[in-house]
Amino acid sequence: MHPRLLFICALISLFGGSTALTAWALSYGSRHRILDLPQARSSHTVPTPRGGGAGLVITFLMFVLFAGWRAVIDARLAAALVGGGFAVALTGALDDRFKLPARFRIAIHFLASIWALWMLRGAPPLYLGWAVWNWGWIGDLVCLIGIAWMINLYNFMDGIDGLAGLEAICASMLSALLLARSGLEGLSQSALMLAAASAGFLVWNWSPAKVFMGDVGSGFLGFVFGVLAVSSAKQRPWLLWPWLILLSVFIVDASLTLMRRLVSGKQWYQAHRSHAYQHAAKRWGSHSKVTLMIAAVNAAWLFPLAWGACIWPAAGSLFALVAIVPLVYTASRYDAGREAPAAEVTLSAEEQEPYARLTAFEGDDAESGKFAAKAGR
């Protein structure tokens, strides 16, 4: 079979496999009552199964194992993705089911990041345009924190229907073009496979979502993007700037929200509804409008700048600055980090029914049709 035709068949297989496994996760979550419950900090109004991201995790890791075996990608990159990605996904799956302590989750995230950096033989040099800085242990520390932060910020940004899935598709497909142009065919193919797996999940997650990604999928996607960025920059140092640009919507919103919450003395890891995209969804009255607008920003604003940073590497940091400054302004205008006044969530009699069987598991009280969940979107 022609290699290009074989690759197309692989893309279709990953999409179909992810779609089918997400449907299974939906069914499993419904049967076993693994649900996100509506609360004052939620962006949904009915109990919805979570953990649907397991489908994209399984299908993408199967591809990585095959690609590493066939030398499509470097064996050390495959080991970094499989070992660290599995640890992050498993921790997320357990947290979706049992609610693990935050310290335990963060410890696993850092261990997975350490594993990835060790397999990739440390951080890439920092390309400054006029010089390449081999920043040694400082670079290792920055990349360690960066990958761990990507795991968590992607989880934080998975708060409205379709957003995390469509962002993964945009970032994967657009980065694949840049990686192909830079001569990194294996990484480019890996990014496209991630897009196919994410698209299979999005079939079930588009507004109104039938299943949520859960920590199993969101943390995994953040980890994979962090590892792909480091791996590509190890081979083409200037590619760190295009990656920063392509992921900047999520990075800016999550980082600005975190800083404002820390300054105000709030616990950063607790569920909240103070991200810019959540305020936008409330103002616009639509999840899909916000998600599509962010996709448009990725394609029409960020991708041309990332392409420019790839063509003119010496100006990479300048392109990144041009990309990020308007996003910081926009996130500030949409009150990133400032929580709106809490409102009670009142459910109909039909919507209340699942709670009667969930209270023992979730530990929530149910009175007069008003409920509060431990965590929510």
Structure confidence at residue 364 (pLDDT): 39
pLDDT number for residue 351: 37
Amino acid at 187: L
Note the pLDDT of residue 10: 92
Q: What is residue 46's DSSP assignment?
A: S
For 371, list phi and psi in degrees, rounded to 5. -135, 155
Q: Which residues contact 176 (CB under 8 A, 6 or more apart)?
A: 188, 189, 191, 192, 195
Per domain, the residue ranges of the chain are 3-24+47-343, 350-377
CA distance 41 to 375: 8
**Integer Cα distance of 339 and 278 in angstroms:** 10
Is there a contact between 302 and 241 (Cβ–Cβ < 8 Å)? no
pLDDT of residue 266: 80
Give the mean pLDDT per block of 10 residues along the chain (377 residues).
84 96 94 78 73 97 95 95 98 94 96 98 92 91 97 94 97 98 96 98 94 96 98 96 98 95 79 88 93 98 97 95 97 87 43 38 35 37
By the 8 A CB rule, do 254 and 146 touch?
Answer: no
For 16-42, b/e burial (b = at least 16 CB within 10 A) is: ebbbebbbebbeebbeeebbbbbbbbb
Is the Cβ–Cβ distance between 100 and 235 less than 8 Å? no
What tokens appear for 220 in the block?
């995994």
pTM for this one? 0.89
